[in-house]
Structure 1
């Protein structure tokens, strides 16, 4: 899945055109997340991510059948363009790093219903034709590094599709509703974040026994619980911002 804010210049990997391309793995690829205040998260990551980030759902339009789509995201900042986890030296100040960021500069794009292509961000400064580990060997075959990277992003793509279906089912059950996060700053100023979807607990309590059994057996109830746990990180995220601004002698905009 190509994320425009992350993959700024996506290009399909071609064994002829890119036969000399190399990856400088000693460089931090996490710097690409500068300016990202949220990133797509697969359902398989909820268990780890809920300990670090708020996990919110964003409206992602409709599919070809007109069904509402949602995209879960790990939130890195409370305002647009703000990332409170990326450090100046390129380190990530959290134990868990979302899979799509770990895979950067690589991802996959769908060619048609059954075919995908490996894509990389051509703007990434860790790519070179003179330094680093090669993508292809002298015979033009993928190196072990490229094989491992491809397997990783293929696994992510599988989880993206599972997550898409999970979100669709949650919307069909009307379990995700527009929500708002409100807080009061130390100086008494009110602060709010909105524009996202989150679990409607009243609606969850209204589900039939059959629907609850479906959620339990499908793993969706576990996802919702992780999502609920993650919401406490909204306050921690704001505290993180306030601490950084206090250290810099700034005020919240």
Structure 2
């Protein structure tokens, strides 16, 4: 089982091994993402995220069918290892992506059982202990706190799968193009960000009517417009970096 960005070591939650485990929810988690300049963003989050983060796409390997896949990201910084929305233990943005909010929980496929998703925890997270906080189990059964966490994770996975299907359609229509962002800061420092994809404006404007209808019926027209609008936030990120 691989550890996604932000996580130290994922471990499947076990009602026996973790029967006395508690989570100190007062312990801030945003420090875990202080060195991440982007995080995965589900399509359902575009409306909130596009107001302050650039929403871009990146290549994400190949699917089971061998076709290329892409994934959307919220850009949080203009340099590797830099998150401009974390200040100590505070998140300074108005919207916190669900990828961050689910921590220290996650769902993952167990080794040797690719079809089964298990609730996992970051076993390295200092907020887990057996003394104080929200109990995960009581009398061998999940507490309401853990049930709510699981419901959040299940919804997150459903939205991630919906996002994957949406991105597959963007790839199928060949609507994404390699892009780069360049800026010169007031002090003369130059910033050059590349390695991301954005909607190809020319191809988008030349889409046949039946393809436009297909996008509309799949809810992509609104998502594309949110993505396009969000790209103006690159300049805001540069200003935040300069400040």
Give the TM-score range, shorter chain: over 0.9
Q: CA RMSD in A?
A: 1.5
Q: TM-score, normalised by structure 1?
A: 0.92
Aligned residue for 1:246? Answer: none
Following superposition, the deviation at residue 68 of structure 1 comes to 0.8
**In 2, Cα distance between the equivalents of 1:26 and 1:145?**
14
State the number of aligned residues.
241
Deviation sequence 1:83-130 (CA, Å, 0-9, x none): 111112x11111100001011001101244642100111111111111
Counterparts of 1:214-229 in structure 2, within 5 Å, are 214-229=214-229
* Cα separation, 2, equivalents of 1:65 and 1:177: 22
1:135 paired residue number: 136
Aligned equivalent of 1:251 = none
2:119 partner SS: strand
Q: Following TM superposition, by how much is the alpha carbon of 1:191 offset from its aligned partner in structure 2, in angstroms?
A: 2.5
What is the deviation of 1:7? 1.4
1:148-159 alignment runs, 5 A limit: 148-159=148-159
Farther-moved stretch of structure 1 (24-33 vs 53-62)? 24-33
Normalized against structure 2, the TM-score is what? 0.95
Q: What's the offset of the Cα at 1:187? A: 3.8
Instruction: Confirm or deny: 8 A CA contact 1:178 1:196 kept in the other structure.
Output: yes
| Partner SS for 2:82 | coil
For residue 46 of structure 1, what is the aligned residue in structure 2? Answer: 46
Match of 1:236 in 2: 236
1:138-160 per-residue CA deviation (whole Å, 9 max, x = no partner) reads x2000000000000010000000
Larger CA deviation: 66-75 vs 148-157: 66-75
- For residues 120 and 32 of structure 1, what CA distance do their matches in structure 2 show? 14
Structure 2 unpaired stretches of 5+: none
- Give the drift of 1:188: 4.3
Counterpart of 2:86 in 1: which secondary structure? coil
Q: Which residue of 2 aligns with 1:110?
A: 109
Q: For the Cα contact (< 8 Å) 1:2–1:107, is it kept in 2?
A: no
